[in-house]
Amino acid sequence: MAILDAKIPEGSLAEKWTQYKNSVKLVNPANKKKLDIIVVGTGAAGSSAASALGELGYNVKVFCYQDSPRRAHAIASQGGINATKNYQNDGDSVYRLFYDMIKGGDFRAREANVYRAAEVSSQVIDHYTALGVPFARDYGGSLTNRSFGGVQVSRTFYAKGQTGQQCMLGSYSSLNRQISEGTVTMFSRREMLDLVLVDGKARGIITRNLITGELERHSAHAVVLASGGYGTIYYLSTLAIQSNGTAAWKAHLKGALFANPSFAQIHPTSIPQLNEYQSKLTLMSESLRNDGRIWVPKEKNDKRHPNDIPEEDRDYYLERRYPAYGNLVPRDVGSRAAKERCDAGYGVGPTGLAVYMDFRDAIKKQGDKTIEANYGNLFQLYDTITGINPYKEPMQIYPSAHYTMGGLWVDYNLMTNIPGLYAIGEANFADHGANRLGAASLMQCSGDGYFILPFTISDYMADQIKTPRIPVNLKEFDEAEENVRKRLEKLISINGTQTPTFFHKKLGKIMWDYCGMVRNEEGLKKAAELVKELKHEFWTDLKVPDNLNELNQEIEKAGRVSDFFDLAGLLITDALNRKESCGAHFREESQTPDGEAQRNDDEYLYVAAWEFKGEKIPHQLHKEKLKFEEVEVQVRSYK
Amino acid sequence: MKVRLKIWRQENAKAKGAFVTYDFEEVSPEMSFLEMLDALNQKLIKKSDSPIAFDSDCREGICGSCGLYINGRPNGPEKGISTCQLSMRAFKDGDTIYVEPWRAKPFPVIKDLIVDRSAFDKILHAGGFISVNTGSAPDGNSILVPKEYSDLAFDSSVCIGCGACVAACKNASAMLFVAAKVSHLALLPQGRPEARERVKNMVMEMDRLGFGNCTNTGACEAECPKEINLTNIARLNREYFTAKVL
């Protein structure tokens, strides 16, 4: 198991990062200019990493599939970004944020990484503020905070319901500055379709130019994947419709371990599905749970208008089941509770797959104006999509696939097991365990990009200064490009009858039904069979129109869906292996008598990191044992 | 419901485009406009026709990828939304709907309804940032910003870079886009040190890229999905004047 050395520095938790920074190898400024780094993805992680590395003087090449780096999906994050400033004097500290993340992640995250993420969170806020991110302020002009995601302190910085947009535009602006200075070269409308290894090290990528269809080779001394999560494996999710797992999956096929793939977070509050053509589910920020009360009717099939249902006929089931946390229970708990009520027949709306989130009491107490100031854009968003005014009647919400805690396995340096290949932000697995705490994603992505990777990559780059620029005419680039070309040609030549979207929807349904909020062995085994059958159908009956050498959005989709089939197989394998409930992963076989999740620390206190061994050969499991030195492993209870 | 769609088809940047008519019957009012196009595309692919190329990603009105000219208006008949937020509820059974890409010289068509908006990125390269290196920021609360200014800056910073303002303008002016970014940064104390250079460089780049002049028609404000207002342009003019003259 030497393969899984997390390289956690010695010393006490609070001192590890400082000591690491004091001892890490540095690269002198003259040498940095001679070193190339590729960054794939331009979200909060990719843009911040690229700009920070550019500022240091490295030669950075950045890639995104969108027409502009500003469009990466961090832009859609709504509620906020955590930091341990303790501006509210309510007892917050690095340790408390660390502890909330460890506990929220249900003791399946790596202590040292989480502590460091909490440690740099304050710097992230300082930096964004200096970049001009207009976080909410109080009348004295200082920054203000709110409580978010089931924690008992107010440490979340926010910009109305558009915190992600503002942070994204902040990191995009720092990226633009480096582009104008010439340290960063931007390649937009490019999709990474393979990773190139030379002598076992990550040395480049193959991309497809999405306008011309041309395959391109790019080389570097190191490659950083900031390609986001794979929640669109469920087809309907809160993600952008083009978000995908391809970059990470291609790296996995080249040897990078994939960790905890089945840890997918189902967000409790999104707008329910309205029709069969629906392409995505829109999130309603969970900040709404600060003032929205969640309920269903006490009677099954109560068809009365929600405003006509009196107080005594309403079941505020979260307040009932979890009196200490009420409507602010963590995401997984809230999601399962909603599913439980709907499965039991108490759901509302046309499909019965929805619960009410009601602002009546908050509006009565605080007034329309205050509610509008806090949530105005979210209310408007809801009204636009559903045609229902949430000032007048409750919102309908239902859980949807949202964030993937799983991702490429990385060590303390954020390096995968492939030398020179790094994974940051949602693309890695490191900081959120089995369940992500609210407002910890922007925080982790930006922390990784601005304040962690620039240090840790230096340790590797210091050994690269004698390596000249990597030429792109090496045989390894020839082979990788040829493989990409063959796969694309195969996809387009099947010439069957069904579209990539048809298969994606079917795959998503299987994953949602059997590998979503609640899983059991029988269902997972069935899902494995169904995915296998559907994958066969995909490769024999797919239809991709037009040609490869032009802008062809269907071949883009086909490629991503083809990788989702393989990732789905691994996701199910991982879910089957983990015969415990933990965080977002709820195994029916493993629950307490009153229906709460039952962890099994004796057998599953590890990170499951899977190695690809070849087509049709089972993945090999590597276990990274989790050691909790600072915190006591406890049962999560929100009662 | 059914609709008659007249959609701009253009094979590539060099090809000559034209409207193509599609009668589409499987439309339901719950669909979003883009989901209606998705459904049409599924049908076209199955008939071995080329699907209609259009940009979109987040589908919740925040990434700015989408943006279509619908019945002569950017993002269609409703105010304050992007194209992906437009619902088919806005149309009636039997309607004819014209769908075009953004039309503006600095936004050349790439294919069908997709245009090249990289000119917007270039304007921001010219100065749409505050020059602060990672690690050198002071404590967040050491820069106090009156709430009033912070809120105003936020109102300007919500621009999604979609290009509707340019498409709406008869001069293809990018003034509202530039004004929003200049305002956002000029309203904050952090943005003041570079304010003069920033506004000069961004305006120069905007002109170099071929965007037209502003003649105060207000079409940009009327069509902006984020309802960014003309006050921003007044502020841009003041910032520019101060930078040039004083």
Q: Do B128 and A176 touch (CB under 8 A)?
A: yes
Region A416-429: mean pLDDT is 98
The full DSSP string for A342-384 is: HHTT---STTS--EEEE-HHHHHHHHHHHHHHHHHHHHHHHHH
For chain A, percent of residues with pLDDT exceeding 90? 89
Q: Is the pLDDT confidence value at A150 over 80?
A: no
Q: Give the dihedral sign, CA A302/A305/A308/A309.
A: positive
B39 neighbourhood in chain A, CB within 8 Å: 277
Within 10 angstroms of residue A484's Cβ, the number of other Cβ atoms is 19
One domain for residues B104 and B141: no
The enclosing H or E element of B79 equals none
Q: Give the phi and the psi of residue A101 in degrees, each rounded to 5.
A: -70, -40
Angle at which helix A163-181 crosses helix A111-130, to 10 degrees, equals 80
CB A502 within 8 A of CB A543: no
Least confident of A51-65, A90-104, A270-284, A545-559: A270-284
Q: Do B56 and A141 touch (CB under 8 A)?
A: no
Q: Do A551 and B53 touch (CB under 8 A)?
A: yes
Q: Is the pLDDT confidence value at A426 over 50?
A: yes
Would an 8 Å CB–CB cutoff place A368 in contact with chain B?
no
CB A137 within 8 A of CB A124: no
Q: Which of B141, B240, B45 is nearest to A557 (CA)?
A: B45
pLDDT at A254: 98
Region A598-606: mean pLDDT is 96
CB A409 within 8 A of CB A4: yes
Region A80-94: mean pLDDT is 97
Residue B84 is given by DSSP the state G
Q: Do B145 and A141 touch (CB under 8 A)?
A: yes
Residue A185 has, within 13 A of its CA and on its CB side, a CA count of 9
For chain B, percent of residues with pLDDT exceeding 70? 100
Would an 8 Å CB–CB cutoff place B143 in contact with chain A?
yes
CB A371 within 8 A of CB A391: yes
Angle at A305 between CA A304 and CA A307, to 5 degrees: 120
CA distances from A204 to A1, A192, A407, A477, B38 (A): 28, 10, 20, 8, 35
Which of B12, B47, B58, B86 is most worth mutating to test chain A (most A CB atoms within 10 A of its CB)? Answer: B58
CB-nearest to A55 from B60, B133, B160 is B133
Q: Is the pLDDT confidence value at A3 over 90?
A: no
Which pair of tokens denotes residue A93?
């500290």
Could you tell me the residue range of the domain that residue B171 belongs to?
Answer: 118-245
One domain for residues B130 and B166: yes
Q: Give how many domains chain B has, as a whole number.
A: 2
Would an 8 Å CB–CB cutoff place A339 in contact with chain B?
no
One domain for residues B91 and B123: no
Q: Which of A597, A592, A605 is nearest to A519 (CA)?
A: A597
CB-nearest to B65 from A71, A160, A177 is A71
Tell me which of B80, B111, B142 is where a domain ends: B111
One domain for residues B139 and B197: yes
pLDDT at A207: 98
Would an 8 Å CB–CB cutoff place B241 in contact with chain A?
no
Instruction: Give the pLDDT confidence of A374-404 residue by residue, as tens digits.
Output: 888 889 889 988 889 999 999 999 999 999 9
One domain for residues B170 and B219: yes
* CATH code where residue B193 lies: 1.10.1060.10
Q: Is the pLDDT confidence value at B88 over 90?
A: yes
Q: Is the pLDDT confidence value at A116 over 90?
A: yes
Which residues face A408 on adjacent strands?
A: A258, A428
One domain for residues B154 and B215: yes
Within 10 angstroms of residue A584's Cβ, the number of other Cβ atoms is 33
> Strand, helix or coil at A591?
strand
Considering A331, A341, A560, A636, which one is annotated as catalytic?
A331
Q: Tell me whether residue A614 is exposed, middle or buried, using C-beta atoms within 10 angstroms of its C-beta: 0 to 12, 13 to 18, 19 or more.
A: exposed
pLDDT at A377: 81
Q: Do B51 and A545 touch (CB under 8 A)?
A: yes
The full DSSP string for A7-24 is: -PPSS-HHHHHHHHHHHS
Whole-number Å distance between alpha carbons of A280 and A231:
11
Instruction: Give the pLDDT confidence of B129-151 residue by residue, as tens digits.
Output: 999 999 999 999 999 999 999 99
Q: Do B147 and A454 touch (CB under 8 A)?
A: no
CB A168 within 8 A of CB A136: no
* CATH code where residue B98 lies: 3.10.20.30
CB B38 within 8 A of CB B25: no
Which pair of tokens denotes residue A535?
């994958």
pLDDT at A40: 98
Least confident of A266-275, A547-556, B77-86: A266-275
One domain for residues B191 and B212: yes
Region A112-133: mean pLDDT is 98
Q: Do A275 and B65 touch (CB under 8 A)?
A: no
B119 neighbourhood in chain A, CB within 8 Å: none
- Closest chain A residue to B52 measured between Cα atoms? A553
**Domains (ranges, CATH) in chain A?**
267-401 (3.90.700.10), 475-615 (1.20.58.100)
The enclosing H or E element of B127 equals none
CB-nearest to B134 from A134, A186, A450 is A450
pLDDT at A1: 44
Would an 8 Å CB–CB cutoff place B15 in contact with chain A?
no
A78 or A589, greater pLDDT: A589
Instruction: Give the pLDDT confidence of A498-546 residue by residue, as tens digits.
Output: 999 999 999 999 999 999 999 999 999 999 999 999 999 999 999 999 9
Q: Give the distance, in angstroms, between the CA of residue A218 and the centroid of all CA atoms in the same chain.
A: 26
One domain for residues B94 and B122: no
Region B52-63: mean pLDDT is 97
A381 neighbourhood in chain B, CB within 8 Å: 60-61, 85
> Strand, helix or coil at A161?
strand
pLDDT at B229: 97
Q: Is the pLDDT confidence value at A2 over 60?
A: no
pLDDT at A442: 97
Instruction: Give the pLDDT confidence of A431-450 residue by residue, as tens digits.
Output: 999 999 989 999 999 999 99
A42 or A630, greater pLDDT: A42
Would an 8 Å CB–CB cutoff place A180 in contact with chain B?
yes
CA distances from A496 to A548, A559, B39, B41, B194 (A): 17, 15, 19, 16, 58
Confidence of residue A350 (pLDDT cuts 50, 70, 90): confident
Q: Which of B144, B132, B140 is nearest to A126 (CA)?
A: B140
Residue A272 is given by DSSP the state P
Within 10 angstroms of residue A185's Cβ, the number of other Cβ atoms is 16
Tell me the nearest-neighbour CA distance from A634 into chain B, angstroms.
Answer: 35
Region B66-70: mean pLDDT is 97
- Closest chain A residue to B182 measured between Cα atoms? A132
CB-nearest to B154 from A134, A139, A451 is A134
One domain for residues B96 and B185: no
One domain for residues B232 and B140: yes
Region B218-222: mean pLDDT is 98
One domain for residues B125 and B239: yes
Instruction: Give the pLDDT confidence of B141-186 residue by residue, as tens digits.
Output: 999 999 999 999 999 999 999 999 999 999 999 999 999 999 999 9
Q: How do strand B18-24 and strand A586-587 relate by DSSP bridges?
A: unpaired
One domain for residues B143 and B228: yes
Would an 8 Å CB–CB cutoff place A387 in contact with chain B?
yes
Tokens 């797919």 — which residue?
A542
Would an 8 Å CB–CB cutoff place A501 in contact with chain B?
yes
CB A43 within 8 A of CB A228: yes
Q: Give the phi and the psi of residue B182 in degrees, each rounded to 5.
A: -60, -45
Which residues face B4 on adjacent strands?
A: B23, B96
Q: Is the pLDDT confidence value at B195 over 60?
A: yes
Tell me which of B59, B79, B111 is where a domain ends: B111
- Closest chain B residue to A43 measured between Cα atoms? B63
Instruction: Give the pLDDT confidence of A289-322 residue by residue, as tens digits.
Output: 989 999 999 999 899 999 999 999 999 999 999 9
Whole-number Å distance between alpha carbons of A215 and A211:
11
Q: Is the pLDDT confidence value at B201 over 70?
A: yes
Instruction: Give the pLDDT confidence of A9-40 residue by residue, as tens digits.
Output: 999 999 999 999 999 999 999 999 999 999 99
Q: Which of A170, A120, A143 is nearest to B143 (CA)?
A: A143
Angle at A505 between CA A502 and CA A508, to 5 degrees: 150
Q: Give the distance, in angstroms, between the CA of residue A174 and the centroid of all CA atoms in the same chain.
A: 22
Active-site residue, A146 included: no
Would an 8 Å CB–CB cutoff place B226 in contact with chain A?
no
Counting one residue from A and one from B, how many pairs have CB atoms under 8 Å apart? 214
Tell me which of B111, B128, B156 is where a domain ends: B111
Would an 8 Å CB–CB cutoff place B120 in contact with chain A?
yes
Instruction: Give the pLDDT confidence of A452-498 residue by residue, as tens digits.
Output: 999 999 999 999 999 999 999 999 999 999 999 999 999 999 999 99
pLDDT at A547: 97
Whole-number Å distance between alpha carbons of A351 and A354:
7
pTM of the predicted protein model:
0.97
Region A543-572: mean pLDDT is 98
Tell me the nearest-neighbour CA distance from B31 into chain A, angstroms.
Answer: 7
Angle at B162 between CA B182 and CA B224, to 5 degrees: 75
Q: Do A55 and B50 touch (CB under 8 A)?
A: no
What is the ipTM metric for this complex?
0.98
Which of B59, B85, B117, B162 is most worth mutating to test chain A (most A CB atoms within 10 A of its CB)? Answer: B59
Tell me the nearest-neighbour CA distance from B245 into chain A, angstroms.
Answer: 26
pLDDT at A227: 98
